[in-house]
Amino acid sequence: MYTLPSLSYKYDALEPFIDTETMHIHHDKHHEIYTKNLNDALSGHDDLLRKPIEELLRDLPMIPEDIRTKVKNFGGGYYNHSFFWQCMSPRHDQTPGEAVKVGLEKTFGSFSTFQEEFTKASLRRFGSGWTWLVLDEKGLAVVDTANQDTPFSEGKTPLLCLDLWEHAYYLKYRQARSEYIQAWWHVVDWEHVDELYRKK
Ligand code: MN
């Protein structure tokens, strides 16, 4: 069984950038439903229910065909949100740790160019999806995925993600995805990103 992970900070810890009500609905309702639907889809498959979610997403072809789409969608939603909460911190306006800072500068030229590329990818994504900073065989990269798809399916390791579904920002920012993205940069947990990058 998969369980809904608790937030490691209070629901109002990301104010004023991400509002308390959005955090409640997003975590307690949306993430909860993904968790429930994932468990329902996997009921009777005790071997799969015991595996870490990353493992299922990394190798979707091994999932029985009749439940594969459900595992991709609900398992993706379950993993993406679990990771998204970890990508944000009550300690606002962090700067990137040294290791990932050097990596970003090497790949993108500068930290602000990376931010521009990540923002551009987030605005370009039509409809619902996610933007990611990932590590692949060539190094750091910005990618975006549709719906609840994850970079695992393409063999990439996530370091940072941003939820682009309207439920992530509509209450406070209405249709203004760009304002949401600008606000979100203030709450990125760069310490967490750096830790994952150093473990690479
Ligand atoms: Mn979401």
What does the pLDDT profile of the chain (200 residues) look like in tens digits? Answer: 999 999 999 999 999 999 999 999 999 999 999 999 999 999 999 999 999 999 999 999 999 999 999 999 999 999 999 999 999 999 999 999 999 999 999 999 999 999 999 999 999 999 999 999 999 999 999 999 999 999 998 999 999 999 999 999 999 999 999 999 999 999 999 999 999 999 97
> Are residues 81 and 136 located together in one domain of the fold?
no
CB of 166 closer than 8 Å to CB of 16:
no
> Which residue range(s) make up the domain with 109?
98-199
pLDDT of amino acid 184: 98
Distance 10 CA to ligand 1 centre (A): 18
**Ligand 1: centre distance to CA 106 (Å):** 31
Ligand 1 center from residue 8 Cα (angstroms): 17
pLDDT of residue 175: 95
Q: Reading across the β-sheet that carries 139-146, which strands appear in turn?
A: 139-146, 129-136, 157-163
Q: Compute, in angstroms, the gap from residue 168 CA to the centroid of ligand 1.
A: 5
| Distance from residue 156's CA to the centre of ligand 1 (Å) | 21
Determine the distance separating the centroid of ligand 1 and the alpha carbon of 109, expressed in angstroms.
Answer: 31
The residue among 66, 86, 106 that closes a domain is 86
Residue 79 shares a structural domain with residue 131: no
Long-range contacts formed by 194-199: CB under 8 A, 24+ apart? 194/96, 194/97, 194/98, 194/99, 194/100, 194/101, 195/97, 196/157, 196/158, 196/159, 197/97, 197/99, 197/100, 197/103, 197/135, 197/159, 198/97, 198/99, 198/100
Residues 61 and 111 in one domain: no
- What is the pTM assigned to this prediction? 0.97
Q: Which residues contact 29 (CB under 8 A, 6 or more apart)?
A: none
